[in-house]
Amino acid sequence: MTMLIKIGNSQGVRIPKPIIKQARLEGAEIEFEVREEGLLLKPVRQKPRQNWQKQIEETLSKKRGQKDEGFLEGFLNDEDLEEWEW
């Protein structure tokens, strides 16, 4: 059990460490959801594939000038597919 405490012009709640750990809130960005029966705190979950484009661009920029440059272009070349029977 805990109580609301004054923090400047706002109020806050101290959450015991075991509860934070059990709820997987350690170091997490917290999302608030107001419900009829109270307030729900939950960690913000990243959406799948969020930031992938940025990460791909960073990886490709680091790889430029290295041995495997052109690997993707060669891999995507369709010319050798003519021999396949579909």
Domain limits, the chain: 14-46
Contact 40, 32 (CB under 8 A): yes
Tokens for 7?
A: 């923090």
Note the pTM of the prediction, 2 decimals.
0.45
- State the Cα–Cα distance between residues 76 and 73, nearest whole angstrom: 5
> Which residues does 16 contact at the CB level (< 8 Å), separation at least 6?
2
pLDDT per residue as tens digits for the range 30-66: 999 999 999 999 888 777 777 778 888 888 887 665 6
Tokens for 71?
A: 């690997």
